[in-house]
């Protein structure tokens, strides 16, 4: 069990550019989540996958955001035409299905800075 890995750890981009983040969950975990955390706030839900199916999306996830989880393994989160308000920590988490599905394992996050 190597935990949840996120890449990159940090990303600085110019406003208007596209960025893509990757998350590798714990291999036995069927559920994968993306959250966003801004300074002084707790994580906010963005989207949730069970296997390869994206089952729920927050209204925070504008049409500039897209997430995929091909083959139910790793996931990517893409932000198109980045804005300064997108600057945040993007956290990925995974959990098993069943009785322990509430026990998320979070990655260390990708910190995005839009300049």
Partner 1 sequence: DQQVKQNSPSLSVQEGRISILNCDYTNSMFDYFLWYKKYPAEGPTFLISISSIKDKNEDGRFTVFLNKSAKHLSLHIVPSQPGDSAVYFCAASVYNFNKFYFGSGTKLNVKP
Nearer of residues 79 and 91 to partner 1, judged by Cβ: 91
Q: How far apart are CA 36 and CA 47, in angstroms?
A: 10
Tell me the closest approach of the beta carbon of residue 16 to partner 1, in angstroms.
Answer: 29
Q: Interface with partner 1 includes 105 (CB under 8 A)?
A: yes
For residue 112, say if its preceding peptide bond is cis, omega within 30 degrees of 0: no
Tokens 């394992």 belong to 105
91 binds partner 1 (CB under 8 A): yes
Measured CA to CA, the distance from residue 34 to residue 77 in angstroms comes to 8
52, with CB counted inside 10 A (0-12, 13-18, 19+), is middle
Print the binding letters for residues 28-67 with partner 1: x by CB under 8 A, - otherwise.
Answer: -----x-x----xxxxxx--x------xx-x---------
**Binding residues for partner 1, per CB under 8 A?**
4, 33, 35, 40-45, 48, 55-56, 58, 91, 93, 95, 101-109
């Amino acid at each position: 069990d190597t935990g949840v890995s996120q890449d990159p750890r940090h990303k600085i981009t110019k406003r208007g550019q596209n960025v893509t983040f990757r998350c590798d969950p714990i291999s036995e975990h069927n559920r994968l989540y993306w959250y966003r955390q801004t300074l002084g706030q707790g994580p906010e839900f963005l989207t949730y996958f069970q296997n390869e199916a994206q089952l729920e999306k927050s209204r925070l996830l504008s049409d500039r955001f897209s997430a995929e989880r091909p083959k139910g393994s790793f996931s990517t989160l893409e932000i198109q035409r980045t804005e300064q308000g997108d600057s945040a920590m993007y956290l990925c988490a995974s959990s098993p299905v069943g009785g322990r599905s509430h026990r998320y394992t979070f990655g260390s996050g990708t910190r995005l800075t839009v300049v």
